[in-house]
Structure 1
Amino acid sequence: MLAKVLSSALLGIDAILVDVEVDIAQGLPQFATVGLPDGAVKESKDRVKSALKNSGYEFPNRRITVNLAPADIRKEGAAFDLPISIGILAATGVVKDHRLRNYLLLGELSLDGRIKPIRGALPVAVAARASNLAGIIVPKDNAGEAAVVEGVDIIGVTELAEVVQFLNGELDLNPHRVDVQSLFRQNAEYGDDFSEVKGQEHAKRALEVAASGGHNILMIGPPGSGKTMLARRIPSILPPMSFDEAIETTKVYSVMGLLDRDKALIASRPFRSPHHTISDIGLIGGGNSPRPGEVSLSHNGVLFLDELPEFKKHVLEVLRQPLEDGRVTISRALTSMTYPSRFMLVSALNPCPCGYLGDPLHQCSCTPIMVQRYRSRISGPLLDRIDIHIEVPGVKYRDLSDSRDGETSIDIGKRVEQSRLLQQERFRGTKVHCNSQMTPRLIKKHCELDEAGHRLLELVTDRLGLSARSYNRILKVSRTIADLAGSDRIRDNHISEAIQYRSLDRKTE
């Protein structure tokens, strides 16, 4: 007897349909799985056998062949347990196929027949909707996550017998429903607010500019000056996530199994802060079976690298591709995966190894050679990809003791959002979303300078010996400052402010 069950496999952050074909033939008892299965899929035969017997079903003592098609794509994980077991029951006539052909099945089986949660339920629901299927049958713990996708029925189940009864029409299970708009509003809140930051008005202005144009930023200051505190509040002033952005970001967390069961949709911009001991694979992604790294987990959000020189140099260098392209491609012998990685890079470093170079209240114990060696851990090409460098000095007592609240994130966010709306209108019809992503052709078109601006930029470029990339960064930041001011043209005061945000370039003067 031959039976076919629809299932799915993950390919990057997307899912593809997989036909689970089960053939039961005469011959010596054997259970063979073909179609490029990994170790977890091969081990499913033992879980399936025990789950069927402990659920009250007979396991056929014959030759069983399971084919996972398409056969040229690697199948991973234990999510194929449920479709394989249902395929065996369908081949023996226990499960009727009138409902079976309209549903996609995924789930890991425990030995007693209970169904455990899986990774990637959201991409699977998207793929099922695109294929015009009636619905998908997933573990109950994954039903809320998959139900975010409208237009396909999500059936949450807890045990194998429940699935059999539903497919045979003996049990009615209502599709899982969620209020997407309510879920979106609940998860779009941030706990940190800029009103809690005392002083640092120059730094807050620079962060507003960075958020408005999506610019990468580097903060330089002594320990305790508030660099981390400022960084953690950047997501609260970024524009609200669109529904498409939320789905794309949630997909990444779903395939990694990092999605909270009570938070089926990520509607707030991610903030990731990996430790400086992270490896290049942990940062960029990879492994024998490529998985997303921190750059993809911070997609549509903020990646914060504190103590930047403490990161291994080769780890920092792998950031170049995602910073330029907004995606990262991981190639291995068996496959090549592309993950989204459009994020805002926020980094921080001390001015010297001891942290107190230039601090009027603390004496620096570092020699010039020590300072140079410390800063040389960050390569020039990486620094060129960071649009804004600012100094964050220590906070004075009168600022700390001021009982007045500063400007709130909501007020700053309104200006940022207004600036982003101007940029969306400017780049309508292109793949560019904000000023930081402008190509040389767009820079030439949208960053026209007046005569005073040309003279100022020529003087600064020749005096500091700026690279072509640094020159373009100044123009991009100037365009963002002009947008915040509501100006169609870039004026010399906008360029002057942008030059002030190239702190490390000025050090070479």
Structure 2
Amino acid sequence: MSLAIVHSRAKLGIQAPAVTVEVHLANGMPSLTLVGLPETAVKESKDRVRSALQNANLDFPSLKRITINLAPADLPKEGGRFDLAVALGLLAASGQIPADSLEHCECLGELALSGELRPVQGVLPAALACREQQRTLLLPRANASEAALVRGVHIIAADHLLELCEHLRGERQLQPVPTDSQPQAATGLADLIDVQGQAQAKRALIVAASGNHNLLLFGPPGTGKTLLASRLPSILPPLTEHEALEVAAIQSVCGSEPLQAWPVRPFRSPHHGASAAALVGGGSQPRPGEISQAHQGVLFLDELPEFDRKVLEMLREPMESGVIHIARAREQLSFPARFQLIAAMNPCPCGYQGDASGRCRCSPEQVQRYRSKLSGPLLDRIDLHLAMHNEPFSLAGQTQGDLDSSSAAKQVSQARARQLARQPCLNAHLDLSGLRDHCQLSDADGKWLEQAIERLGLSRRASHKVLKIGRTLADLAGEEAIGRQHLAEALQYRQLDRRLLG
């Protein structure tokens, strides 16, 4: 009787919970049993492992009663990521490799029938967990560059099962994968200078970027709404290493290429036909949706009223909390979703209400029906509403005085630095106590704002948004106190509130 224990990691959300692979060999009727809530791909691992060991000229203990337990038993196991752990467990239990060589290791990888190691998804969260617990990660060489994004983790990568066996026996040592190098910065981001005119819209974009505020742009087609939104990543500050690893971990779980350029923030632009599961996450085996893939970045929703209203309503909670909770019968998962929402829409069904051409023929009822696709609670959660209009343009391109991304990014960086020096978060994420501490007004300005809020019919949440925007405007101006000029400008960015629709 012999028992071998190998550690692996299960892919569950963006976490990598530890899984212990226990291999027990005993005398008796030859059989192989795999237990521990394995799904089909995991159940098939016993056939892949058997062929891989035999084709690699390793002994498969076929004359023993083999029990493979994937613990904890109540955690669903899926994918081919446990193949390597099962194979090494069988080899350790049968004495072909020393069992103590696996004591401080985690194993991830799928096995080909020839014994070659194939890459799997979700390696980055496992690498983060291994670094925290000071364990060595054994994985396919094709996953090495992804795992190496985590600085300080000990990684051993191989192309074939035999290479790992020789390494664990001490016959031929594999060199650890270097993790000191950092990805190169991306170049070629779209520049804000490409947008001609629209000075007020550019100002609103800088305000939104400075305080991480949500922004809704509405106006006729061709005014530059989408063009402007696509320039937002070029003026946002670079990701920190911690933020970049969070983003890369989500991409790894979703099967996308992990983040290769540290400064680039995600920019997600789903089509308006996206389902609820695609936008917020879910499915029979829950996966992160677009809002989680936009974590620490930008979620751009073009043609906002064309999205299904029920889908849009699901954004309300994560816009406030920065987390999306997915509940299923067997499990409950939480995915990060701290995204900045930028949305664009037309002012009416035909798109030309308010245009100087006068081509709009939509009735007030049609306009109201179109705009009512967006609920009041959703609009309340969008900090800035700005109307855009067609402006004269020149085919000659940029004109003198046009703002470029470099200049705008400098303003944004300075404003954010002031916020983080004063408080632990950006202005858009201030709670009620933060509003009381950092958004104080003089008595005269406070009374003036109360009268304006009552006259415009703003909700309590919308009034808090006005205060936060005023705080950001003061930070952009380098001023300690929020002045009336900041509040007046902030109120101008609430153009879609209910009493302003008429």
Scaled by the length of structure 1, the TM-score of the pair is: 0.94
* Structure 2 equivalent of residue 193 of structure 1: 191
Q: What are the residue-to-residue correspondences of 1:206-225 with 2, within 5 Å?
A: 206-225=204-223
Pick from 359, 366, 371 the counterpart of residue 363 of structure 1: 359
Instruction: Find the aligned partners of 2:399 and 2:458 in 1 and give their Cα distance.
Output: 42
Alignment CA distance shift 1:474-1:171 (3 Å): same
Partner of 2:77 in structure 1? Answer: 75
Q: Give the whole-Å Cα distance in 2 for the aligned partners of 1:204 and 1:446.
A: 26
Matched, 1:32 2:28: no
Q: How do residues 261-410 of structure 1 correspond to structure 2 at under 5 angstroms?
A: 263-264=259-260, 266-398=262-394, 401-404=397-400, 406-410=402-406
Q: Following the alignment from structure 1 to structure 2, what is the Cα–Cα distance between the partners of residues 267 and 414?
A: 15
Deviation, structure 1 residue 159: 1.3
- Is the CA contact 1:300–1:342 (under 8 Å) kept in the aligned structure 2? yes
Instruction: Name the aligned partner's letter for residue 224 of structure 1.
Output: G
The equivalent residue for 1:116 is: 118
Residue 265 of structure 1 deviates from its aligned partner by 5.9
Given that 1:196 and 1:405 are in contact with CA atoms closer than 8 Å, whether structure 2 keeps it comes out as: no
| Structure 1 position 436 matched with structure 2 position 434 | no
Note the 1:243-262 alignment, pairs <5 A: 243-260=241-258
Structure 1 equivalent of residue 234 of structure 2:
236
1:457 offset after TM fit, Å? 1.8
Could you tell me how far 1:455 is from its partner in structure 2?
A: 4.1
Could you tell me which of 482, 492, 495 is aligned with 1:490? 482
The 3 A distance-change label for structure 1 pair 401 and 160 is closer
1:178: how far off?
A: 3.9
The one-letter code matched in structure 2 to 1:172 is Q
Q: Distance in 1 between matches of 2:395 and 2:18?
A: 59
CA distance in 2, matches of 1:466, 1:13: 38
- Contact map agreement 2:151 2:180 (CA 8 A) in 1: no
1:362/1:114 Cα in 2 relative to 1: closer, same or farther (>3 Å)? farther
Matches within 5 A, 1:104-183: 104-133=106-135, 135-181=136-182, 183=183
Superposition misfits of 4+ residues, deviation over 4 angstroms:
263-266, 399-405
Preserved contact between residue 52 and residue 111 of structure 2 (Cα < 8 Å): yes
Q: Structure 1 residues 342 and 83, CA, compared in 2 at 3 Å: closer, same or farther? A: same
CA distance in 2, matches of 1:267, 1:54: 45
- In structure 1, how many angstroms separate the alpha carbons of the residues matched to 2:388 and 2:452? 23
Query: 2: distance between equivalents of 1:245 and 1:154?
Result: 22
Alignment-derived partner of residue 93 in structure 2: 91
How far residue 151 of structure 1 moved from its aligned partner, in angstroms, is 2.8
Counterpart of 1:106, as a letter, is: L
Maintained 8 Å contact 1:34/1:67: yes
The CA distance in 2 between the partners of 1:27 and 1:110, in whole Å, is 29
Aligned to 1:2: 3
**1:374 Cα deviation from its structure 2 partner:** 0.7
Candidates 461, 464, 470, aligned match of 2:453: 461
Residue 492 of structure 1 deviates from its aligned partner by 1.0
Question: Cα–Cα, structure 1 residues 425 and 116, in superposed 2: closer, same or farther, change >3 Å?
Answer: same
CA distance in 2, matches of 1:456, 1:199: 33
Aligned-pair CA distance for 1:403: 4.7
- What letter is aligned with 1:386? I
Distance in 1 of aligned mates of 2:284 and 2:327: 10
Check conservation: 1:189, 1:268, Cα contact below 8 A: no
Does the 8 A contact of 1:148 with 1:265 survive in 2? Answer: no
CA deviation after TM superposition for structure 1 residue 508, in Å: 3.5
Amino acid at match of 1:118: V
CA distance in 2: counterparts of 1:423 and 1:399, whole angstroms: 40
Q: Is the 8 A contact 1:190 1:236 kept in 2?
A: no
Normalising by the residue count of structure 2, what TM-score does the alignment of the two structures yield?
A: 0.95
CA deviations on 1:77-106 (whole Å, 9 max, x unpaired) are 110001101111111111122422222111
| 1:316 shift after superposition | 0.3
What amino acid maps onto 1:101 in structure 2?
Answer: E
String of CA shifts for 1:389-435, please: whole Å, max 9, x gaps: 0012123224875454722212111111111111112214xxxx111
Deviations 1:119-160 (A, max 9, x none): 121111121122222x21111111111122233321111111
Question: Contact 1:144/1:177 (CA < 8 Å) preserved in 2?
Answer: no
Q: Secondary structure at the match of 2:121?
A: coil
Q: CA deviation at 1:339?
A: 1.0
Name the structure 2 match of 1:500.
492
Letter in 1 for 2:337: S
**What amino acid maps onto 1:478 in structure 2?**
G
SS in 1 for 2:17: strand
Q: Give, as a single letter, the amino acid of the residue that structure 2 aligns with 1:160.
A: L
SS in 1 for 2:51: helix
AA aligned to 1:215 is: H
RMSD (Å) for aligned C-alpha atoms: 1.7
- In the alignment, the residues of structure 2 paired with residue 497 and residue 120 of structure 1 have an alpha-carbon distance, to the nearest angstrom, of 45
The 1:187/1:46 distance shift into structure 2, 3 A limit, reads farther
What SS does the aligned partner of 2:11 have? strand
SS in structure 2 opposite 1:291?
A: coil
Q: CA separation in 1, counterparts of 2:53 and 2:260?
A: 31
SS of 1:49's equivalent in the other structure is helix
